[in-house]
Amino acid sequence: MTIYYGFEMDGLSWRAFTLSAMADRRWYLRRQRIAMYTITMMVGMAAQCAATFCMFKYEFLQNHIEAFTMHQAHVHNNDIVAAGITSMVIPCIALLLFTVEYFLLVLWPGKLYSRAYNRWKGGIFVAACVGMLATAVVSTIFVATRSASISGVDATAAQQLTSMYFRPPLKYNSWPQNIAWIVLLWIAVICCIVSTGLLIRAISHDEMYMSCLNGSSSNVDDAAVEPAASDEDKSIPEEKVQLA
């Protein structure tokens, strides 16, 4: 048996990714965690893609207007660009954590970790949830209340430029793609919180029972069968009967 950094390499098998193996009911909250981690990663990647699309669209708008006016007009949209970058970086970190935890859960479901590592892991995942929540709040405020602006030209020229380059619009909340980005981001936040809750609950169970198995499988039956009496114990009543 080959072991690297405490992990048995015998667990590395494609069979671990089959539906029957991942749906094994012996492990506490394993099926629920695998499902929630998968949903979290998929929704998080969708939110990242939407944020990337919207951010680059506003970057292209700025480049096109400034190039058309020979850099006489300037588009100010740093707020939406900053929100887009944050919506890419923070979810990327959170999804990386869930991806690592997903593979560890699939390949080594019975692995027990030290209390210090569990505390560190729980803190990291809680911090990721806080970062996701802060990102969603800031992005929502920017999209709902702010808009880009054009300077360097008069109002008539600015209106002509916005009529020529009408997509994406300067007002952020009037573009459906921005709304989709925010909605996906909030769904990812909810999934991240639920997944972290399942993780912390599983950690508490493993530390309590010192096993990743379900409580009914890991607990020792209190009504255990008493050991059989020895030959000497059996002979004592017979001797008493003969003496009587």
pLDDT, tens digit, 9 for 90 and up, residues 201-225: 999 998 888 877 876 444 434 433 3
The whole-number pLDDT of residue 6 equals 67
Let me know: does 21 contact 107? Beta carbons within 8 Å: no
pLDDT > 60? residue 241: no
Distance from the Cα of residue 93 to its chain's centroid: 9
pTM over 0.85: no
pLDDT confidence band for 231 (50 / 70 / 90)? very low
- Run of H or E including 41: helix 30-68
* Phi and psi, residue 5, nearest 5°: 55, 35
pLDDT in tens, 65-108: 989 888 888 999 999 999 999 999 999 999 999 999 999 999 88
CA distance 168 to 75: 12
The residue with greater pLDDT, 239 or 135, is 135
- Tokens linked to 153: 């030209």
Tell me what the mean pLDDT of segment 180-196 comes to. 97
The whole-number pLDDT of residue 1 equals 62
pLDDT > 70? residue 61: yes
pLDDT in tens, 4-31: 766 777 767 888 888 888 888 888 888 9
